[in-house]
């Protein structure tokens, strides 16, 4: 699982939310091993994106691609600051 916390300026929230569907569509089309993502709004202009991957290798390959498609690029462009990025495994 990928856990990414980031800050979005209030004036960019609408752009972030508008870009989300295209970003998810790009991930589904271009990122092997992408399973699902949940976006959580936190206090103080922070957000948490919880992304589930089939494997750590799939996540690493996705990270290497960066914002290679328009939907992903638009979503990333709305982010003002990366707060933290972590990788973990869901307990079963």
Is residue 83 within 8 Å of 8, Cβ to Cβ? Answer: no
Using CB atoms within 10 A of its CB, is residue 27 exposed (0-12), middle (13-18) or buried (19+)?
buried
pLDDT score for 82: 98
Alpha-carbon distance of 49 to 1, in angstroms, equals: 10
Flag whether 35 is in a domain.
yes
Q: In this structure, what CATH number is given to the domain that contains residue 67?
A: 3.30.70.100
Identify the residue whose tokens are 């990122």.
31
Could you tell me the two tokens for 39? 């976006």
In-domain check, residue 91: no
What is the pTM for the complete model shown? 0.93
What is the count of structural domains for the chain? 1
88 domain-assigned = no
What integer pLDDT is reported at residue 90 of this predicted model? Answer: 87
Q: 46-70 pLDDT, tens per residue?
A: 999 999 999 999 999 999 999 999 9
pLDDT < 50 regions, the chain: none
What token pair was written down for 75? 């979503």
Rg over CA atoms, the chain: 13
């Amino acid at each position: 699982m990928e856990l990414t916390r980031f800050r979005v300026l209030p004036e960019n929230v609408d752009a972030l939310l508008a870009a989300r569907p295209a970003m998810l569509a790009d991930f589904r089309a271009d990122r092997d091993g992408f399973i699902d993502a949940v976006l959580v709004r936190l206090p103080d202009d922070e957000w948490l994106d919880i992304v589930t991957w089939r494997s750590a290798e799939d996540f690493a390959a996705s990270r290497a691609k960066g914002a290679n498609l328009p939907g992903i690029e638009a979503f990333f462009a709305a982010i003002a600051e990366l707060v933290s990025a972590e990788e973990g495994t869901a307990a079963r």
